[in-house]
């Protein structure tokens, strides 16, 4: 990553999921998405060994470095450290954000999933750099994810100063429902990764996010 | 851990598995096993969240500190670092041993699973402190584990100078079959953790290991 933490563009945040990809490799999916305009990438690999996660992260980092966009590792702080990623994203069932921060130091990015004001405030106190808030819409990717209401999103926005990335079931047809919430960007999985043309899907979503943020 | 790395006693190495425990908590199982004489403990938790793994590790570390025996964390170097464990154990599908060593530094313990001479030599070159070799016998704990022959164990013993802990299906009835192989200790899961009386099971195994090593 060539950008300092305060200059990160959270606009269109891709989360990977190798089970949903329309490409053969995670690297190729990320490359296509970067060509289309995603501004950061989170490698989220729940269904492979740590070795495979590590090796994939090494490959994907070459792509994100080439496009000068941050690479975030889901949950595994050790893999983030091993590959020199730009940070980690931790959910409420992962290593505590405060421990992730302690292990990564002040310069790396720590993102935290929050679905209510209490979790958002805790994350801010624990040293999070940004929040992933959702699921905003029902989603097939995380079937157990509870939906966060637009009202709760606005309460979180009012409660913390951190950048907020909305996540969960966001696609081109519903993204503009997030207008006026003050979010800094959207995170998507299947709307990009499962698209037959990943680059085109990312390009279109990037345009919609631009509209959203210009309101 | 109060002992320096070179003074570690690998004699009776307990691996946890919360699915098999005869006690309510991992901490209680470890406490009973330590009372019975296990000389080190590996926390192996494949079926819980990272948060739960971390919290269990914090609790278990209080017990292992009290008994002054090393606590090893399976696979997750970040959790080992977060709780201040004595080291990690990595399998062939985990983070590479060389990366574990790099992240943990020279003073922590890095153990590596090896089932043949090639893997054993690689582990030694990558900075392993000890090898876990097996599975020595068919085991219900890791149903996909291939059995390592006594001959291969002896070849590994001849090929590397690292301490060797034999693992896989070892119990009081077959442990003496490992006589004359030059191993430094045995690792067990169910023979201790699933016993109705964990302390008694550990005591009995500790005595057999003593016999084994006195041959």
Model confidence at A197, pLDDT cuts 50, 70, 90, reads: very high
Reading phi first (left if > 0) and then psi (alpha if -120 to 50, else beta), residue B147 is in beta
Q: What is the mean pLDDT of residues B160-176?
A: 96
Residues A21 and A138: their CA atoms lie apart, in Å, by: 20
Judge whether B142 counts as a catalytic residue: yes
- Bridge pairing between strands B87-90 and B109-114: parallel
Q: What is the mean pLDDT of residues A62-76?
A: 98
- Report the DSSP beta bridge partners of residue A14: A41, A188
User: Where residue B4 falls among pLDDT bands split at 50, 70, 90?
Assistant: confident
Question: Is the C-alpha dihedral spanning B124, B128, B129, B130 positive or negative?
Answer: negative
Q: Could you tell me the two tokens for A149?
A: 């209401």
- Supply the ipTM of this predicted assembly: 0.94
Whether pLDDT at A144 is above 90: no
What is the average pLDDT score of chain A?
A: 94
Per-residue pLDDT of B65-106, as tens digits, reads 999 999 999 999 999 999 999 999 999 999 999 999 999 999
What domains appear along chain A, each with residue ranges and CATH number? 5-214 (3.20.20.70)
pLDDT greater than 90 at residue B146: no
What pLDDT is stored for residue A45 in this prediction? 86
Catalytic site residue B49?
A: no
The candidate with the shortest Cα–Cα distance to A168, out of A183, B84, B80, is A183
Mean of pLDDT values over A118-145: 90
Q: Which of B47, B50, B144 to mutate to test the interface with A (most CBs of A within 10 A)?
A: B50
Q: Please pick, among B115, B142, B171, B208, the residue that the annotation labels catalytic.
A: B142
Confidence band for A143, pLDDT divided at 50, 70 and 90: low
B19 contacts: CB under 8 Å, gap ≥ 6? B47
B5: confidence class by pLDDT, cuts 50, 70, 90: confident
Quick check: helix, strand or coil at residue A209? helix
Among A62, A77, A150, A155, residue whose Cα is nearest residue A111? A77
Across B25-31, average pLDDT: 96
Chain A positions touching B100 (Cβ under 8 A) are 78
Position A215 pLDDT exceeds 70: no
Contact A96 B54 (CB under 8 A): yes
Alpha helices in A24-96 (DSSP H): 26-36, 50-66, 77-83
Please report residues of B whose CB lies closer than 8 A to that of A89. none
- Give the model's pLDDT for residue A142: 65
Kindly report, residue by residue over A18-32, the tens digit of the pLDDT: 889 888 999 999 999
Distance CA B122, CA A148 (A): 49
CB within 8 Å: B82 and A99: yes
Interval A64-92 mean pLDDT: 98
Q: How confident is the model at residue A46 (pLDDT cuts 50, 70, 90)?
A: confident
**Residue A138 confidence (pLDDT):** 86
Chain A nearest C-alpha distance from B56 (Å) = 12
- pLDDT of B124 reads 98
């Amino acid at each position: 990553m060539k950008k300092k933490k305060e200059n990160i563009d959270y606009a269109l945040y891709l989360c990977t999921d190798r089970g949903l990809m329309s490409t053969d490799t995670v690297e190729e999916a990320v490359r296509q998405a970067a060509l289309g305009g995603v501004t950061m990438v989170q490698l989220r690999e729940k269904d492979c060994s740590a070795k495979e996660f590590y090796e994939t992260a090494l490959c994907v980092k070459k792509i994100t470095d080439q496009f000068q966009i941050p690479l975030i590792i889901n949950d595994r702080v050790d893999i983030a450290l091993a590959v020199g990623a730009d940070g980690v994203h931790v959910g409420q069932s992962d290593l505590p954000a405060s421990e992730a921060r302690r292990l990564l130091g002040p310069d790396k990015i720590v993102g935290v999933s929050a679905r209510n004001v209490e979790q958002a405030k805790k994350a801010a106190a624990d040293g999070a750099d940004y929040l992933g808030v959702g699921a905003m819409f029902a989603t097939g990717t995380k079937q157990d994810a509870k939906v966060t209401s637009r009202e709760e999103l606005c309460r979180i926005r009012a409660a913390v100063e951190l950048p907020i990335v909305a996540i969960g079931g966001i696609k081109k047809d519903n993204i503009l429902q997030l207008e006026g919430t003050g979010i800094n960007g959207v995170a998507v999985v299947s709307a990009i990764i499962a698209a037959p043309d990943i680059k085109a899907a990312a390009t279109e979503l990037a345009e919609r996010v631009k509209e959203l943020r210009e309101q």
